[in-house]
Structure 1
């Protein structure tokens, strides 16, 4: 038995498992000169532990059809009597390269993510200072109307602190 066509419908790495999902006619085998196409009647995926490169769902059953003839193959048997291992090896290698590349990209982006987070925190802090400045200006205005010297001094001091914080943030921008 020879696999004549194997094209995953979908692949995904979850933890240490590579899920290879097949759809109707995405997998074909040749048996006795007849081509049988995969049909997702029972199971439709092969799960491989990437660390060990072993199929973990060996009891799952794949069904193939050629006109009115059907073949039901448990995965363990399919792996033993066909060349599917060679083709799966290529898919595993490709998935490992993709995972490695994704990891490299994520590592390369970490400094950028830190900068973006810092900029966002600074933006939020500026906004909070602007709101506090508005509040202190309203408090100062009311204190001046009420002739409340204690509140006037407190508001002026806090406004100086806010102004100093905004100036020092502008220096580093």
Structure 2
């Protein structure tokens, strides 16, 4: 099996397992079994589990932000794009395998012990905030709205992950609507 194929298979399995069960409860042998990649090859690709976790989060970040942007760009009005973020969150929260925010989950498990994981989590959250700042600017709104909109979205993610409900996205969207009217 070529290295690129083995890497993708390992990352696919790691994502399913880490996101579904949590990072701490999944061993490299679990990833081996779910991926079909030998343990020797898995350790050649990712010499430490921490490296596999970071690679999983990096890859998930790219896909997550692409899915969000594609959905939001489907709304031609710049003001509506901000509210569309919450519409996308609602759709995401309703997915069958939704288990909260992968980065918040990873931070909760490894934030005290893994600087590379903390860096990846912070990079993801910074990129999301920057994305919202771009939407705020494109709508011609005050940049000061970025922080509250970011906190609404993040709070919705945490609450939805805990409650297993899409309702936090709808509530956050309505709060964002009030903020945008006031701003």
With the length of structure 1 as denominator, give the TM-score of the two structures: 0.27
Please state which structure has a larger fraction of its residues in strand.
1
Larger Rg: 1
Scaled by the length of structure 2, what TM-score is found? 0.26
More helix by share: 2
